[in-house]
Amino acid sequence: MSQFVAFAGNTRVASGGAAEVAAMLRLLAKAGLDRSALVFDATTGRQVDLDPRLSDAQLATQFAAPGDAGAGRGRPKLGVVPREVTLLPRHWEWLGRQRGGASATLRRLVDDVRRDASEADARREAREAVHRFITAIAGNAPGYEEAVRALFAGDQTRFQEQISAWPADIRDQASDMAKLAFPAPSPLAGLVPPERLAGAVAAVRGILGDAPMSAEPLAGRSGATILKISGPDRAAVLRCDVPPDGFRDPARHYACHAIAAQAGVAPQLLHVNLPERLALSAFVESSDEMTPDQRLAAVGHALAQLHRAPLFPPLMPFMQAMDGLVTGFAALGLLPDDAIGRLRARFEALRDRYDMSAADLVASHNDLNPTNILYGGGRAHFVDWETAFAADRYVDLAAVVNFLARSKDDEALILRSYFGRASTEAESGKLNLMRQVSRLYYGIMLLRAAARSHPDLQLDETAIAVGADGYQEARHPVFEVNLGCRYLAEALRGKEHP
């Protein structure tokens, strides 16, 4: 049933079905009020001639929806209407071969197109309805022309701004009619920086289509916006990366991810927009189906696959990168000079003892902490490739052994899965040296993160003290400080296992 709205000047005096609006207009006339109300179809925005002097039955007949009247006998009851259709011979030949013949096929094709275009058509019709309404009742209002431009540009915010000063009833009616005139807010709105929203929406729609979807943030420490995008049939991970900073570089990051995905150890890379620093990858659901030993073996196998892959783009020698990290950490002044001196001396001793071999240069993830390892389908998957570059194989091995191995047996299982055999004495020796370097790396990174969120952070010598019984807990209220100090103390002590 059609719905109508009546305005007397700038005031909305009635709304509802034809009979309800007519009844209100009669009451206004009896009260001696203005009878020259404008009546609009609330759906189409068209001005209608609704005469309140007509009876309810007459109004019902005047405004009956198509198809409300009883249908006659025979074929027209089905709603079939004969019309002339002009097609080329090849079109008729194709239609004649289809199931049900030409007429049935044409009906199916039209229904398919209507279904695909229904949302866009509804939005177009709603915009035209709003345009008709505001042109008739607010064509001279301030901001009218800008409101029309915003309406047809699909700019809801601008439209609302332009009509905000209009009389309240007209503004509210226009806003209510405009609800269908604009696309529904993207689920990415509020999660992606506004200046990057259009590019992110286009990327997601290009992969997942126009079906309804939801978005939720995923944890990350890099500064990138990372979202899980869920559609009806699949899910993906959207990354909006930060600009290059001399170390992090989306071009290298995406190249490394693509190589790792080809090697079968990273989620499939679905879309990359390098100028806008956007990437979409398949979502991997981590599960608990694997036992602890199965997980250790899966990580070892996946790491071996990665290190056999084509070499990642280079950045700098790993020990050179570590030297810069230690120097930058010293400049923060979080620890006394004596403590910094001990850490630098420890790093230099490890660096000088470590034999950097060209044979060990591989495609290295360089940050295989537990949050970057997912398990599913009997396999391990590595994610977050922004720190990846060509580096020594023991960088990744040291990280996974430090984080995942809780005993010598665990370490041996990881290494057997990686090498396909027991490790040699030389291999174990290189691993143990790199494990201390890895502890320095993660200790420094954790304390740097804590310093960013707590600018007044200051630690004394006892924070990384190593006594006869090992590391003394710092007991700092900031978790990153406690863990970072523990890693640094373990590196100073040469610790292998908890």
Phi, psi (rounded to 5 degrees) for 237 = -110, 125
Instruction: Say whether domain 194-282 belongs to CATH 3.30.420.40.
Output: no
Task: Please tell me the distance from the alpha carbon of residue 237 to that of residue 372, in angstroms, as a whole number.
Answer: 14
Residue 455, exposed/middle/buried by CB under 10 A (0-12, 13-18, 19+)? exposed
Predicted local distance difference test score (pLDDT) of residue 76: 45
Predicted local distance difference test score (pLDDT) of residue 141: 94
Question: Which residues lie across from 217 on neighbouring strands?
Answer: 227
Determine the average pLDDT of the residues in 448-475: 77
Determine the average pLDDT of the residues in 264-271: 95
Q: 282-325: per-residue pLDDT in tens?
A: 999 888 889 999 999 999 999 999 999 999 999 999 999 999 99
Determine the average pLDDT of the residues in 142-166: 92
Q: Delimit the CATH 3.90.1200.10 region(s) of the chain.
A: 292-493
Query: What's the chain's average pLDDT?
Result: 87
Q: Delimit the CATH 3.30.200.20 region(s) of the chain.
A: 194-282
Instruction: Assign 113 a pLDDT band (cuts: 50, 70, 90).
Output: low
Instruction: Assign 34 a pLDDT band (cuts: 50, 70, 90).
Output: low
Determine the average pLDDT of the residues in 382-397: 96
Class of domain 292-493: alpha beta
Task: Please tell me the distance from the alpha carbon of residue 417 to that of residue 435, in angstroms, as a whole number.
Answer: 18
Predicted local distance difference test score (pLDDT) of residue 229: 94
**Is 63 strand, coil or helix?**
coil
Task: Please tell me the distance from the alpha carbon of residue 344 to that of residue 109, in angstroms, as a whole number.
Answer: 73
Model confidence at 276: pLDDT above 70: yes
Determine the average pLDDT of the residues in 361-366: 97
Flag the least confident range among 22-36, 237-251, 379-393, 428-442. Answer: 22-36
**Is 56 strand, coil or helix?**
helix
Predicted local distance difference test score (pLDDT) of residue 74: 46
Model confidence at 220: pLDDT above 70: no
Model confidence at 259: pLDDT above 50: yes
